[in-house]
A and B are shown apart, each in its own frame.
Chain A
Amino acid sequence: MKIRSAPILGALVTAALVLTGCAATGTETDNTPTDLTLTVSTAPISLDPAKSNSEVIFSSLAYDSLIHVSSDGTYSPSLAESFGYVGEGNTTFELKLREGLTFADETPLDSAAVAGYLEYFRNANGPFAATMGLVESVDTPDDLTVVLNLSAPNPDIALQFSEGGMWGSVVSPAGIADPEALGSTTAGAGPYQLDTDASVAGSTYVYTPRANYYDEDKQKWEKVTVNVISDPNAALQSVISGQAQWVEGTPDQVAAAEAAGLTVAQGVPDTLLLFLEDREGVLAPALADERVRQALNYAIDRDAIAEVLGGIPAQQIIAPQRVGYSEEANSVYSYDPEMAKKLLADAGYEDGFELLALVGAFDASSSQALQIVSEQFKAVGVDVTIQSAATFGDLAAAQEGRTVPSLMLPWGATTMFSVAQQLVLPSGVVNPFKSEDPELIAKFDAGTVASGDEAYPAWEDFSLAVTEKAWFVPIAVLYAPFFGSGIDDPAGDGFIQPNPLYF
């Protein structure tokens, strides 16, 4: 019995024709150079700036920011024409808006709109609502001037009004009136607005230019599409194939990206830290002794670990190029297991001790680093038990419940002021045992009132003190790479994340 081969052959020919036809069509419908397509790994939780986790790509396109912060941490005007502290002590901040600014809905962006948005931000209970805690009042002496009066010194107000915070992503009064819709729509004064008909929340976001934006240089694309592709390999292929022009990569993809001719840019730094949280000795009494914490810092070979992770060795909680980075702090500890054993013996732990350490199972670099660190700790007698958290929520719950004495986690520090608030002050969200050190608090207070060039030595002094007191075991500074094709700067002159308006 024979099979007739004609139908099969016909099917193959049809498939070939479809593919050939598709190839021709593909050439015709390729994105023109005026379109920009970005690939990101996760969707923003909400498009509402007041509830956003600082997703700069999304907020910049639709909202822009009042102040622009560059990758080197310097500030420049954006929607605000000028800004700065008034008087001494970093307690009054004034900014002046450009004339004639409007939101996408054509209503004016004036001082009243900014004040209204700040009030909304304070009450929206978003991730950064607590940053408004120091703002005692907001004055609007005229249509273009906004003055913030603070209850205590804060040197980071410009950062809050930049892409590094969310105070500067002003939502229009109409948007504030319908907060439910803000999660999946936009109502900003940025150069683009979300095309809700063409977008699918969580998957594809299409932005189109809006009329009457003040700066044509930041509105150079006819369409910006942001696609969410969670698989890192598929995401990289989207740029290599030419479908997208930008993707956030992983360190192990750099070689493949370079081989494919993509532009590779170094991303913003995260400092990988082993948080020695239980400095009060509640769960791990040994950690209450400063000598034990210093011993752990001497016990690890940072150079080797950093090389494995593709980063640079770290001994302090702030990354290079940030205010407060201290050259002196970076040479406090050498890799010296003998010194580690001596310090442990001096503290009465010559036989070592057991230490429970938590790490997010979803974070490959941290998990890998903790494995290596635990081996090196073992060599000086410290036996580490690794506990994995399945999700970030589980990890955060362990913090709230104070169930682990130590934690391995990368921390993206923007300024020393903010990292100190979060990690070092007793009220810090990653200081679950409320450790308190008067010397550190005094140095923190000195940093908060310092302005201009005085800020550098003040915060460097603080960083050195934290390192010497060994509140943490800093491991390495890691940089997430960005890959681009056909764009000038894949890092987008970003301070905490790339800003597509500067690609």
Chain B
Amino acid sequence: MLTLLLKRLAFSIPLIILVSLMTFLLVSLSPTDVAYTLLGARATPEQLEAVREQLGLNLPLWQQYANWLVSAVQGDLGSSLLNGQPVLVAVGQRVEPTVALLVLTMIVTSIIGVVVGVAGALRGGWVARLTDALGLIGVAVPGFLIGLALIVLFAVQLKVLPPSGYSGVASGSGPWIRTLILPVIALAAGSIGLIAKQVRAAMTDALSSEYVRNLTANGFRKSSIIYRHALRSAAVPVLAMMGVTLVGMLGSSVFIEQVFGIPGIGGLAVQATVAKDLPVIQGVTVIYVLIVVVVNLLLDIAYALANPKVRIS
């Protein structure tokens, strides 16, 4: 198990380098010129050239990337080309809201998805059809539209929750949870149906398998069969699905952060990409890769706990 985790961690280093290189090349293909962003419509060609020179934008691409990589390995991700703020500071200010949003959404998605999925598998009939229908609606309606509807209903009409913003954990659990309720619902809406459908299918398979019939024939209690045996067996494909779901959530969270004015990494990624602020884009990319790597590691551990075959292999 430990070897497996160490291998995964070792694999993440070339992964980060590869992804950062691809990001660098993709962003470099964009015709956007950060000098224009900085100086605006009234800049003269001489001013534009001076800014490009000052920011090192005239260097060959390979040299720009090599400079960034050498600094990054030493723990310096550079500074924003726009406001000069160190990338580590800019990203550090925004990690908490994004991680809080993602973690809470995963928890909500998992709990509701599993409960609804199990209910669908056990009850069948209209419960199962309702599960499928809700899942489809959740996937079909974009999260930001759900977010806007939630703002109108809960913030404008009922006035029970704030429409936007984020209160840090340090401000207390009450304000913190209040600012996250609507974004979490908006972000979770698209994933709950998928998880529920996966759980229902996996549970249906498990409940119709031979070992469940044997357990039933041997007089095991139904609750024990369902929750200790069938659900554990069904958890294996569901965990794999959760990993994929989280990666999808990272993308969706960018829009949700914009709609709810959450000072997270997503907003930073959008601003930096629009302005072609390469050091910030690279910093955000590294953080996203790290989040994916850490979550996949946690899922690997959970996967191994649920499935003995993984531990043995």
Contact = CB atoms under 8 A, between A and B. Distances in A.
Interface of A: 1, 3, 7-8, 18-23, 25-26, 29, 39, 43, 45-48, 51, 53, 125-130, 179-184, 200-204, 227-231, 233-234, 237-238, 240-243, 390-394, 396-397, 400, 422, 429-430
B71 interface: no
Nearest to A398: B31
B42 A130 contact: yes
A203 B178 contact: no
A393 B261 contact: no
A184 B83 contact: yes
Contacts of B178: 22, 25-26
B33 A393 contact: yes
A148 B85 CA distance: 33
A393 B80 contact: no
Given A183-B83, A203-B262, 10 more contacts: A7-B115, A125-B54, A183-B82, A183-B85, A202-B268, A227-B261, A233-B148, A238-B261, A243-B163, A429-B44
6 closest residue pairs by CB, A with B? A183-B83, A203-B263, A183-B84, A393-B36, A200-B263, A229-B261
Contacts of A128: 42
A127, A203, A204, A422: residue with the most chain B Cβ atoms closer than 10 Å: A203
Contacts of B32: 390-391, 393-394
B175 interface: yes
Interface stretch (B17-25, B151-159, B239-247, B302-310): B151-159
A18 B177 contact: yes
Contacts of B47: 125, 129-130
Interface residues of B, number: 66
A317 to B, nearest CB: 15
Contact of A25 (B90, B175, B260): B175
Nearest to B226: A1
A182 B90 CA distance: 15
A430 B44 CA distance: 10
A242 B159 contact: yes
A234 B148 contact: yes
23 contacts: A25-B175, A26-B160, A29-B175, A47-B83, A125-B54, A126-B38, A126-B39, A183-B80, A183-B82, A234-B163, A234-B164, A237-B148, A237-B152, A237-B156, A238-B164, A238-B261, A241-B156, A392-B37, A393-B32, A394-B32, A396-B43, A422-B41, A429-B41
B36 A392 contact: yes
Interface in B25-56: 31-34, 36-45, 47-48, 50-51, 54
A125 B161 contact: no
Contact of B160 (A23, A129, A394, A397): A23
A1 B123 contact: yes
A429 B33 contact: no
Given A22-B160, A233-B148, A3 B123 contact: yes
A397 B45 CA distance: 10
Nearest to A182: B84
A397 B33 contact: yes
Contacts of B51: 125
